[in-house]
Structure 1
């Protein structure tokens, strides 16, 4: 039950919560992307209508300015001016009417008699046109007697002295422009407003209630102080739910992959812990057995060894001496094996002393040279001139060096060479022991420090394990490097006693 709860918590923490966060973030991203897309489309719609509106205004002003060049002569001939205005109106269906006005803005002649003798320009527009001598566009929507709506564009007529003597005025049909704009963008609501924000024309508006609803994009016109407003469509019409589903499925796959990966790593860690626990229990059981029996074995073994020495002194025959020597070697081997088991069964921490690591090797040198002669090998020792002080136990360090060296001798059955070198590197003392033996396989290197692993038929598999355990007390380490058939190098490192 507890494990199921842990799995459920892990699943919620790695899959459910990240998936919800990912989905929320992804939907926010899609929402913003949709808003940006709508904004860009609305801006494009606005640019289309902006271009169309400015084109109509610019073309109308140009036409009026051209007609105004002959306006002074036409003011004296109303029939001729009426004919010219009629022809100008017929060239463009956007014009509801064209008129000749006097200096006060009253129509003198035109294409629509119902506007004759009426004021068609505001006083402010007249004053502005007289001052600037440029065409003027009206700032409001006007009603043409209930038949059509329009706005006006007027251009001043100048005499030889460059004074304003009258005006030419064109009525631009709003309904015609609204129809054209509706054809250009049938799916968008568009409105053109003046600087007081009064509507000039509207496109695709069913009623007046939706004018201020929703979001609008505003683009100013170039030829007049008007603005083109485009209403952005609702987001729900553009939300890509297919992308949301694809993103959610993708997030589900990714989170499950992460969940399974973490679950696999946790299982591996748990298995490793179980293996380590099993090894620790095994060592503990063996240690307990060793602690309870080692002394019982060593006591009679000491007595047997003493008696054998007495017999060896009493019987001096050559054959007897040979048998005694074999028995003594076997007793010594039993004693060494029991000593290694004692290391497992009790704490091996001893009083640490500051000593010169060179002295450890110097003390061992006679024994190592004897072992070298026994195995018919050469041996070289390289010691520095300056002392290298470390904090350790002399007896245990001798055990480590002797154990590693004996492994090297045993790996060189035919005239090999063992070298021992001591150096000081980066606040650490380094003892390098190198042999030219048959080496260790890569698989063997992975296991040499495991208890009870041995490549020798008569080995206990505890030698290197004990060495590493001893060195760990001194904050030291031992590492092996080897290649099959090319010898082995053991590197022992200890912190210097004076290293901060």
Structure 2
């Protein structure tokens, strides 16, 4: 390949204070200058064994290749990339790589000229308190930036060689361990965890993690840039506590309102009893009001007491069968058909079976009560990625869009005699199982309740 032989260019190339290199159209280094060799601590012949994709993740390589192909096609004249190259001594050198393309007389691309500028100082200035580190595939730390002293009170030297998990809060260690097992096709991602300070307390860190893999997909190293977010976490906790106090106030006001109504009725009938004007029919009304108070108190107890999730492996199809058998007599009396549409005969998940039945009963009873004229309730199950989707679709009167947003709030219900606590409990149960529940409805068109639950990997 005819490279530039002009003596002035050669002098400039060799004497340049910034890194310069020539690369073929695949990115492999063809020539490198002394400044670039000094920048990374390698001899010239060592660098020529690499390309400008060195130390890049597969995703970074793909993005770079897209830009390079644009240059080859003549769509870009200059390409600028920021990269983190690994110095021979182990630390990261952040560079700005500027590429231009050399063409022949027929405008055919020949090779790239690269200008490589060390921008590590600017990066450190921008992220002076951030911790830059990289670890081997087994988690042993191979480099930690000096900012670790400011954030965690530790010296970088005392961390080198130790497993990164040994500094992590036990409750967060499993999440960090999963970093070493992530799929090679994944982009850089962000995770939060607690790391132990030298004096024993824990510091919240938010870390951008990138796994560097070789051409075969084998992990070579794991790079992380961590930032102290302890103050942000404290602020979030204060906001969360404030929201809980607000909710407690709303709940207390709702309880007072809901219980005052039946108590007012009972008080009035008691006055009639004292005056001797009590009719026998009134005793039935008093009993109903007491039952109303009992219902409210029981639902509050379910909501208030700690719901320890006792998970085991359950077949959701079997749980739904149990619930539909329980509700079928009431459905038949109301001319309602419970239709089951399951893509498979069994779907196993880790859950608390009794709590899950409670959710299904709440959702199905709401659907049945919304259909006084009868109709069909369709229960469908299907996997969506690594989640199990359960949908209950009714043909009831539907709910206004403004009201749908309030479902799950205490003492809000679209039913005349409802308390809203049943759905509040249901949302809480699904959330504690790592899932989510979504409701869609339109007046006159019925309601759809979709429950998403994590499903274990199936081999």
Question: Which structure dedicates a bigger proportion of its chain to helix?
Answer: 1
TM bucket (normalised to shorter chain) is 0.3 to 0.5
- Please tell me whether Structure 1 or Structure 2 has the larger radius of gyration of its CA atoms: 1
Structure 2 length-normalised TM:
0.39
TM-score (norm 1): 0.36
Going by fraction, where is strand more abundant, 1 or 2?
A: 2
Larger relative contact order (Cα-Cα within 8 Å, sequence gap ≥ 6): 1
